[in-house]
Amino acid sequence: MTRTPTFEELFRGCQRTAVHLETRDAYMKSDPAFVDWKAGRSFDPAERWADWHDIVTEATSRGVEVCRARIVSTPVSEYIRFEYDVTDGLNIAAGESVRWLSRRDATDLALPGNDFWLFDSSLVLVNHFDGEGENMEVELTEDAEVAKLCDAAFEAVWKRATPHAQFELA
């Protein structure tokens, strides 16, 4: 059985682009950072997720374009408010570009059934979550048709989505 590479290995092997499509309204609600945020405890996102911040910063410093698009229901869920609140201090600070798209504006887009990371338009890391957004499992594929679908879906969302700095929570 082949071992799935870590995020760090995938980012280190990436040469041009790493794009991520998120389509759920909640993820890992048991995450201690979300629990702290809900309780009103402040923290530095870049410090809390230092490993992630370092991985993305290293990739963007090599010229890799890292983009994240989030499709969200409106009004947004509590978890999406949390993601929005930490985006500047984590994602943007690490060099990611982040855009948001209201689910209402995505109705006519052909989208894969799962969230994914797409590296260099050819390697797809599919994220599988349970119904509560917990217990993420990953599946790695180099299937050209899957990569093509994911690339087209991401580009369609990205083109329509609002940059983080201009997005207003509903």
Task: Please name which of 103, 143, 120, 123 lies closest in space to residue 22, comparing C-alpha atoms.
Answer: 103
pLDDT > 60? residue 1: no
Peptide bond connecting 45 to the previous residue in cis, omega within 30 degrees of 0: no
pTM of the model: 0.94
Task: Please name which of 70, 91, 67 lies closest in space to residue 17, comparing C-alpha atoms.
Answer: 67
144-158, pLDDT tens digit by residue?
A: 999 999 999 999 999
What is the Cα–Cα distance from 14 to 10, expressed in whole angstroms?
A: 6
In sequence order, the β-bridge partners of residue 102 are 72
CATH fit for domain 7-166, picks 3.30.870.10, 3.40.50.2300, 1.10.1040.10, 3.40.50.360: 3.30.870.10
46-85, pLDDT tens digit by residue?
A: 899 999 999 999 999 999 999 999 999 999 999 999 999 9
What is the Cα–Cα distance from 20 to 150, expressed in whole angstroms?
A: 10
Instruction: Give the start-to-end residue ranges of the domains of the chain.
Output: 7-166
Count the helices and strands in the chain (H runs, E runs): 7, 7
Q: In a 3-state reduction of DSSP, which class is residue 139? A: strand
The gap from C-alpha 152 to its chain's centroid, in whole angstroms, comes to 16
